[in-house]
Amino acid sequence: MLNLPDRLGSRLSGAQFANLHTFVAVARHLSFSQAAQELCLTASAVSHRIARLEQALALRLFERLTRRIRLTAEGERLYQVLQGLEAQLQEALQPSTEEVSGALSLYVRPSLAQHWLVPRLADFQQRYRQVSLDIRTGNEPVDFRTRPVDLALLYGHGEFPGLASQLLMDERVAPVCSPQYAERHGLIDHPGRLAQCTLLHDALAWEHAAFDAEWQRWAGEQGVQQHLPARHLTFDRSDLCSAAASHHAGVAIGRQRLVQPLLDQGALILPLGGFSQTAGQGYYLVHPPRERLPLRLRVMIGWLQVQVGDG
């Protein structure tokens, strides 16, 4: 198997480092023209730099398709190596101080950001005053090549192909609705009466999920699929489902870490019993694979783990 660091050392001269920088830009955008705009070069100049790099390494780094390009297996490996070197360089250039510093971008699902992460951020700011934290939210799949994101906090089953991931905290789910809605439909301890209800769906519960995936998973585990009605409302956030449920619009699948405050306030109840755990379901920390994470990223992961332990 090719050892990229050895190959780089034996085949590259100092003049090739500009070509490596160009390669990283092209690999990030998977576009010669977009890389050219970033580097203030012509697309022809970018193409020539890549050709010279491929010749020096005796490797083909990109596959040229009809209207796009993609990395070859060796190109992907080189890109991962250079990303790791870039992170190490950024850490090495930090001021020599015990205080962690630098910019850090965290991508989070909107519901979790609003109801779990944001209320805790003051503690992070007090502990790490020299870290500039940028929180971005969204439901679309995160592309670490094209978005300036260091770490993502995602809900799902832990399947993130090509990325490193670790479970931060698990999640338990159960149907929730307002007390008034449960009484109106005689729903307490009667799952068969779901057929008379409106179901509230988070249509983007996790990547590639069907619009009713959470309800189908819960109903399958409980053996009550036959009672699920066709009548529904869909949202793109779990907390909007819970908010609609608290205002008598229907029954939602509540995630305990998000809906517990509404349960404590009495705005929601658990009409069909307590929360249940689905194997592997939870919130995962996701990032590109690296041999060693930058210090600021290791600090953020450690802090998030402490927050889970603190409840």
HSE of 228 in the Cβ direction (CA atoms, 13 Å)? Answer: 20
Residue range 261-285, pLDDT digits in tens: 999 999 999 999 999 887 778 999 9
Over residues 110-133, the mean pLDDT reads 93
Q: Mark 62-78 as b/e (b = at least 16 C-beta within 10 Å).
A: beeeeeebebeebbebb
Two tokens, residue 119: 């209320």
| Amino acid 7: pLDDT | 47
Banded model confidence at residue 145, pLDDT cuts 50, 70, 90 = confident
* Residues sharing a CB contact under 8 Å with residue 19, sequence separation 6 or more, in sequence order: 49, 50, 52, 53, 56
One-letter amino acid of 305:
Q
- Residue with token string 């802090």: 303
Which pLDDT score, from 0 to 100, does residue 243 have? Answer: 97
With pLDDT > 90 as the criterion, what percentage of the chain qualifies?
Answer: 51
The 8-class DSSP code of residue 177 comes to B
For 202-237, the pLDDT digits (tens) are 999 988 889 999 999 999 989 998 999 989 999 999
Confidence of residue 89 (pLDDT cuts 50, 70, 90): low
DSSP 3-state of 66 = coil
| Cα angle 108, 114, 119; round to 5 | 110
Mean pLDDT of 112-140: 92
Range with lowest mean pLDDT among 25-29, 87-91, 265-269: 87-91
Closest CA to 139 of 117, 169, 111: 111
pLDDT recorded at residue 2: 39
State the chain's mean pLDDT as an integer.
87
Residue 184 has pLDDT above 50, yes or no: yes
Supply the pTM of this predicted model. 0.69
pLDDT at 181 exceeding the cut of 70: yes
More confident residue, 250 or 296: 250
CB-based contact 7:57 (threshold 8 Å) = yes
232 by Cβ neighbours in 10 Å (0-12 / 13-18 / 19+) ranks as middle
**Is residue 17 a contact partner of residue 89, using CB atoms and an 8 Å limit?**
no
Residue-level pLDDT at 4 = 47
Residue ranges and CATH numbers for the domains of the chain are 4-92 (1.10.10.10), 102-168+282-309 (3.40.190.10), 170-278 (3.40.190.10)
Q: Does the pLDDT of residue 86 top 80, yes or no?
A: no
